[in-house]
Amino acid sequence: MSSQKIMKYSDSIVAVLFAIFLICAFCFGGSSRPDAGTQIIVRLASVIMLAVALFLSSGRDLARVKFPLLFLGSLTALMIIQSIPLPPFIWTALPGRELFASGASILGVEQPWRPISLAPDATLNSILSTLPGFAALVGLASFPKARMSWLLALVIGLTMVSATMGVLQISSGELYLFDITNRGSSVGFFANRNHHAALLTAVLPALAALAIYPSDRLVQLRLPLACALALFLVPMVLITGSRAGLLLLLVGLAGAMMLVRPAWRTRNGAPAAVQSFLASRLGKASTFGFAIVLIAIVVTSIVLSRALAIQRLFAQDVEADTRLRLFGVLVDMTKNYFPVGSGFGSFPVVFKIVEPDWYLGPSYFNHAHNDILEVLIEGGGASLALGLGFLIWAIRASIRIWRPVRQLEGAILLGRMGSLQVLMLVLASIADYPLRTPLNQVLFVIGCGLMALASEAVKRAGPERPEAPNRRVSPRVAG
């Protein structure tokens, strides 16, 4: 096929390839472990997606997602810098290297050149783990804007497959994709129930966006379908047994209501059919009915002893108590390796150095279960600066895209949805490490990309103009 024909069908090529990439990310990207065999499938799909998207995209496409791309690139550059060997007189002066430096003295050999990372192979794996993020971001920038609703529907559909898979896992005890996993729990495509719960709750705003997406296609079907899927997802979150998921469920439902709220005002945004329905008495009654059914589902789940997340919320949890006791150790590790960090991916190695005697046992602490703190341990001051820079951008972008506009385009609606998903995954990272799985990483990066695209759409739409009050015109008096 000639280059002209390829460019002619570039939109279709990118759309199909991005859909295949998403399917691979969902089906094979549920584990963060470097030894998971499915990692190579996701990374291979990422390389193909990235190569094709870069070939077919223009500089203007990439400029629209420049900040998320810059942030991800800077994070990868930091990992590469951590992998560069340093001369001994520099390396030995770095904080937290005393124990390692003493090894050469004991053996009576010269200090070798060593990188900042105390686990170079793990840092190399961390570099490769950014491939799905780059592929998702560049692919989204090149994705045809007229087919964004297809992308929304695909993410929702794949999430529903994961939720259904979780039900089958609990009922049959089979269908687990990974050897090291939370057996007996609903994990779907994941190895960890908390990561599965993060995905299920993050899709709730996507259902709201599907219901009011500004398109006339299937407009009469989308609202009841979105409500039905939301009612299906709520008990699916409860049976995961994730307490963090229970809290994220409340955030997700509140975020979904925030997205739908403008349609109640019967102004811009949602299709006229959706606006008129929501603004009608029947629509308002249906909203209360939805809330009642939602509460009934939660209560029924508790009565039938299927709401594992609620049961675990009030039960004594040795695991949570252990993590709380280890928090002080993690803070000391952050101080010990600051400002250069121990190297991305090195946490399991450096934790063994300071592991308390009371924690010694057959299990091991592979992550800090507080990804923000773990990133500070591994990345030091540079990761702190990158995190603050991202936070500032995310807050400014969110404020911009949530302001009322004259016309709520699909890009703005998806940007608002993306901001909610980014918020929820960041909150989930406080108690776990969901973004270290390729699947949730892709969802997070897509959310960031949608926020960037929405910022541009806001400029086109312009701010909402207040309606002028009705004025009574006095009759002119003949003089």
Q: Is the pLDDT of residue 320 over 80?
A: no
- Residues 87 and 214: their CA atoms lie apart, in Å, by 59
User: How far is residue 214's CA from residue 196's CA, in Å, rounded to a whole number?
Assistant: 29
Q: Is residue 101 part of a domain?
A: no
- Spatial contact of 449 and 66, defined as CB atoms under 8 Å apart: no
Is residue 149 very low, low, confident or very high in pLDDT (cuts 50, 70, 90)? confident
CA gap 191, 32 in Å, rounded: 8
Let me know if residue 334 belongs to a domain. no
CB 437 within 8 A of CB 31: yes
Domain assignment present for residue 236? The answer is yes
Q: Report residue 270's pLDDT band, with 50, 70 and 90 as the boundaries.
A: low
pLDDT at 70: 96
Greatest alpha-carbon pair distance for the chain in Å reads 113
Residue written as token pair 């994070």 = 75
Q: What is the pLDDT of residue 315?
A: 57
Q: Which residue has the higher pLDDT, 357 or 280?
A: 357
Residue 103, domain member (yes or no): no
Mean pLDDT of 6-15: 74
Asked if the model's pLDDT at residue 476 lies above 50, the reply is no
Task: Take residue 2 and report the two structure tokens written for it.
Answer: 């000639």
Residue 406: per-residue pLDDT? 73
Does the residue 295 lie in any domain? yes
| Inside any domain, residue 466 | no
Residue 478 pLDDT: 39
Q: How far apart are CA 336 and CA 297, in angstroms?
A: 48
129 within 8 A of 438, measured Cβ to Cβ: yes
Residue 338 lies inside a defined structural domain of this protein:
no
Q: Which helix (H) or strand (E) holds 304?
A: none
Chain mean pLDDT for the chain:
84
pLDDT score for 71? 96
Strand-pair partners of 231: none
328 within some domain: no
Facing residues of 405 across strands? 463
How many structural domains does the chain have?
Answer: 1
Q: Is the model's pLDDT at 302 over the cut of 70?
A: no
278: left (phi over 0), alpha (psi -120 to 50) or beta: alpha
Assess whether pLDDT exceeds 60 at residue 133: yes
- Structural domain boundaries, residue 53: 3-87+119-317+368-461
Torsion (CA) 60, 422, 202, 304 in degrees, nearest 10: 170
Cα(82)–Cα(130) distance, rounded to whole angstroms? Answer: 15
Supply φ then ψ for residue 86, to 5 degrees: -115, 150
* Per-residue pLDDT at 311: 59
Q: Which residue has the higher pLDDT, 83 or 323?
A: 83
